[in-house]
Amino acid sequence: MKILVTGFEPFAGSDVNPSERAATALTSTPIVGAEVEIALLPCVDGACERVLLDAVRQHTPDITIALGEHGRETGLGFERFALNLRDYRIPDNAGATVTDQPVIRGAPAGYFTKLPVHTLVERARRAGVPSRVSRDAGTFLCNQAYFALLHARAIGDIGCDGIFVHVPRLPEQAAASGKGQPSMVTETVVRGLRATMDALVGTSGA
């Protein structure tokens, strides 16, 4: 099985992104039964989904796990749904903000992932990693990339299933913000994602 893991570049003034760190770290140790490729997405409206789909076409994975940072997450947030909506006030890395626009005009209102989110959460928890099922991926770039991925799959443009997983900020980011944000080190994120992949591959490891 081939798995593509994507992370986002830093944004909103930070010089690091925990999703990029986790994606990179996942390649350092082999997963039994899986070949892992990674890609880095820009935090730019329109560009993030283009780069994601290009990576899917290049690597032709069986499954894509897209990662993104979330300042209020205390653990891994497995997103079960992508909305056909862009609506955000925090500027992307090109300075754009968007109100009430679709991700893809004329596409359906939303898509559920076909992957078993409750099972994945259960497996990550059993590996000792705080995790939850999240109902929607928001209306910022993470959702945008996720929606584009699930739509491309639905219309047959690509052949891989996908899941979006939000991860907490790194301790050093939360420390610098001084706002009491929860955090998680990359090692813990990676342990949860490896348990997730083990579940997807169908091996018994955890």
Active-site annotation, residues: 79, 142, 166
Rule CB under 8 A: choose which of 17, 64, 131, 144 binds a copy of itself: 131
64 vs 84, beta carbon nearer a copy of itself: 84
Q: How large is the angle between the packed helices 186-201 and 117-126, nearest 10 degrees?
A: 130
Q: Which of 128, 155, 157, 205 binds a copy of itself (CB under 8 A)?
A: 128
Smallest CA-to-CA distance from 69 within 24, 22, 25, 19 is with 19
Buried b (16+ CB within 10 A) or exposed e, 51-70: bbbebbeebebebbbbbbbb
Q: Binding marks (x or -) toward a copy of itself, 179..198, rule CB under 8 A?
A: -xxxxxx-xx----------
Least distance to a copy of itself, CB of residue 164, Å:
14
State in angstroms the smallest separation of the CB of 179 from a copy of itself. Answer: 9
- Contact with a copy of itself (CB under 8 A) among 35, 57, 112, 157: 112
Could you say which of 28, 30, 100, 204 contacts a copy of itself (CB under 8 A)?
A: 100
Q: Least distance from C-beta 160 to a copy of itself, angstroms? A: 18
Applying CB under 8 A, does 145 fall inside the site for a copy of itself? no
CA distance 108 to 98: 19
Whether 127 and 72 have beta carbons less than 8 Å apart is answered as no
State residue 65 phi and psi, 5-degree precision: -110, 110
> Could you tell me which residues come within 8 angstroms of residue 92 by beta carbon, excluding any fewer than 6 positions away?
11, 43, 44, 45, 141
The C-alpha atoms of residue 190 and residue 20 are separated, in whole angstroms, by 11
Binding piece for a copy of itself, criterion CB under 8 A, among 24-32, 40-48, 61-69, 175-183: 175-183
Nearer Cβ to a copy of itself (28/100):
100
Matching residue, tokens 């749904």: 81
Q: Which residues of this chain interact with a copy of itself, rule CB under 8 A?
A: 74-75, 80-81, 83-85, 99-100, 108-112, 118, 124-132, 135-136, 138-139, 171-172, 174-176, 178, 180-185, 187-188
